[in-house]
Structure 1
Amino acid sequence: MNYHEIAFPENSLFLVTGGAGFIGSNLTEALLSMGYRVRVLDNLLTGYEKNIAGFRDNPKFEFIKGDIRDAATCDRACEGVSYVLHQAAEVSVPESIEQPVSYTMTNIIGTVNVMEAAAKHGVKKMTYASSAAVYGDDETMPKREEIVGRRLSTYAVTKFVDEEYAYQYTLNYGLDCYGMRYFNVYGRRQDPNGAYAAVIPKFIECLLRDEPPTINGDGEQSRDFVYVEDVVQANLLACAAPHEAAGEAYNVAAGKRSSLNEMYAVLSKLFGKDLKPVFGPERKGDIRHSGADISKIKKNLGYAPEYDFSRGITAAIQWYKENLKA
């Protein structure tokens, strides 16, 4: 459904943690476009000032530069807030294996700090970013929320623990929490740079520059690619959901999966280019196949993805063409 049809009380204040990041800035943009007040909390380590520069002149936008690892900062950020959209996190699977303490401090302690502050200030609803990584080594396909395996990375562990804390805060502390178990999100403002960048923006950047991309492994690993507009929809639906749907985690996906080779073939065709990819080593901690059953989020939250891969990737390519310097 079109998320602009979702209505909240007129003077609602939304806190978006990680609001200068990829998903967070899209949530911020959507809420401002709907006329609501938005406060962003971001330490600008993985988020970017350029992602929020266009919001600075909006009187309904407020920015706090701060870190979720600091409880006092979270407390201040949650004052007067109606809804929390918690996106702040460290998000690289390979990096999490190299830096387990950092990921634990940010993704677990930081998330509990936000939940504690939200509960203290009487926040109505809180959504938080979980991940398909929690499915680990379970081979069930498509992935259903109630069936998980052993986690394969520190990142996956942190997201699984976040879900457990969310259940506790819903059950015992009066804070309705809704887990957004993201699959492979893509779209405008997703950073193509860095060693751990997501695959779609890296591929697009390579094609724009006529450079062959590197595919980790044999390219037959599959993913459920979901466009960021549908992720925005899922979060806002959760903010409007009944208490009975709280304390749960929900697959946020398109409900269809493609191999990396298939995805790259579509991109190549759209660009009209024939650059043979380079195949590199598999990434440590990666899940082989990832596809979502989205029946639970459809039933409980009313989610209905509006972007198939063709529509979403066309919109994404257009954004990168306009915003990436060749």
Structure 2
Amino acid sequence: MKKVLVTGADGFIGSHLVEYLLEKGYQVRALAQYNSFNSAGWLDGFAHPALEIHYGDVRDAFFCDALCQGIEVVFHLAALIAIPYSYSAPQSYIETNVNGTLNMCQAALKHGVKRFLQTSTSEVYGTAQYVPIDEKHPLQAQSPYSASKIAADALAMSYYHAFNLPVTIVRPFNTYGPRQSARAVIPTIISQIATGATLIKLGDTSPTRDFNYVQDTCAGFEVLSRCDAAIGETVNISSNYEISVADTLDLIRNLMQSGVEFVMDEQRLRPAGSEVFRLWGDNSKLLQLTGFSPAVDLTQGLRRTIEWFTQPEHLACYKASQYNK
């Protein structure tokens, strides 16, 4: 079995990726951020003979060095990702997203890791200058978060050019599904409707997004980790389809058979110049390199997501009445 490392394994995408890799027969070392509660986040209570969970922090170079020993493939997902919080605490995003990536690249290089997959984000493109957005689209730092990810991606790619570290920049568009943080629009709407809300406050709902079900995102990561032609490349994981946030909300409302009213709340708007108004990703490079394309359409994915969130034990994990940055 190939031994792989997933950083950020306690989070939304990371926990799904761990499960997906285990199902595919990998031996997985999962990094959960150290905390005094001894919690592995969404991996709490999950046991598998091929899974080992480590607790630590990618900001510590000594820890990253030990973490990469004996590892063949690194899936580097650990990051601070909430865009609104990056306005309040930008330095923490540099420390985790940039310095953390530096530590992981250096450790991977030292221990001869065979593949390093750096997790990017479609936010680095900013508002689309043309659509669909391919990997040659200009990068635009419209938030401290996106700036930190642009820097982290460039740093990882520098290790490919300067030191021959076999890096692939994996750039997912808007991933959604079970376990997603309530800071994202889809889970916050589903959880509020599920708890009986009749009115929901939102920011701007006119922007468009390219939504991808989490299982497809994980499958994209895995196929890229086996694709030698993807070494030294940046590759989008997207659906090649855009939909406005407003239309997405209407779809959720209809699927949940709700009469909820949506209203705009100015405090939830991004700062002027920071809103990304249009995201529509071109996935032709991923298809060309690997033959992979998404299998779950938006309606099907939303049905699965709604089914998960409306189970009482899952809904209880969310504070639906509180605004989550």
Q: TM-score, normalised by structure 2?
A: 0.90
Preserved CA contact (<8 Å) 1:135 1:147: yes
Partner residue in 2 for 1:236: 222
SS across alignment from 1:55: coil
Preserved CA contact (<8 Å) 2:127 2:279: no
In the TM superposition, what is the alpha-carbon distance from 1:283 to its structure 2 partner?
Answer: 1.8
Matched, 1:26 2:26: no
Which of 136, 143, 160 is matched with 1:153 structurally?
A: 143
Which of 243, 247, 255 is matched with 1:262 structurally?
A: 247
Which of 257, 262, 277 is matched with 2:262 structurally?
A: 277
In the TM superposition, what is the alpha-carbon distance from 1:54 to its structure 2 partner?
Answer: 3.5
- Number of residue pairs the alignment of both structures matches: 308
What percent of counterpart residues are identical? 33
Give CA-to-partner distance per residue, 1:89-144, whole Å, 9 cap, x none: 00012211221211101000101111111111111111121111111245212212
Matched, 1:199 2:178: no
Superposition pairs for residues 97-116 of structure 1, below 5 Å? 97-116=87-106
> CA 1:84/1:221 → structure 2, altered by over 3 Å: closer, same or farther?
same
Partner residue in 2 for 1:7: none
Aligned partner of 2:276: which letter?
A: I
Partner residue in 1 for 2:125: 135
> CA 1:116/1:171 → structure 2, altered by over 3 Å: closer, same or farther?
same
Preserved CA contact (<8 Å) 1:31 1:38: yes
Matched, 1:291 2:280: yes
Partner residue in 1 for 2:79: 89
SS across alignment from 1:207: helix
Aligned partner of 1:224: which letter?
A: D
Query: 314-323 or 133-142: which moved more?
Result: 133-142
In the TM superposition, what is the alpha-carbon distance from 1:34 to its structure 2 partner?
Answer: 2.2
Structure 2 CA distance, aligned partners of 1:133 and 1:260?
A: 15
Aligned partner of 1:53: which letter?
A: D
In the TM superposition, what is the alpha-carbon distance from 1:50 to its structure 2 partner?
Answer: 4.6
Structure 2 CA distance, aligned partners of 1:210 and 1:65?
A: 37
In the TM superposition, what is the alpha-carbon distance from 1:215 to its structure 2 partner?
Answer: 2.1
Following TM superposition, where does structure 1 have runs of at least 4 consecutive aligned residues deviating by more than 6 angstroms?
none
CA RMSD of aligned residues (A): 1.7
Q: TM-score, normalised by structure 1?
A: 0.90
Structure 2 CA distance, aligned partners of 1:225 and 1:263?
A: 10
Partner residue in 1 for 2:323: none
Superposition pairs for residues 11-50 of structure 1, below 5 Å? 11-43=1-33, 49-50=40-41
Preserved CA contact (<8 Å) 2:32 2:41: no
SS across alignment from 2:161: helix
Partner residue in 2 for 1:216: 203
Preserved CA contact (<8 Å) 2:173 2:210: yes
Which of 55, 71, 78 is matched with 1:65 structurally?
A: 55
Aligned partner of 1:201: which letter?
A: P
Preserved CA contact (<8 Å) 2:76 2:116: yes
Give CA-to-partner distance per residue, 1:150-192, whole Å, 9 cap, x none: 3111111111112212222222223211112121110111122
Structure 1 CA distance, aligned partners of 2:301 and 2:177?
A: 7
Structure 2 CA distance, aligned partners of 1:267 and 1:68?
A: 36
Preserved CA contact (<8 Å) 2:128 2:279: no
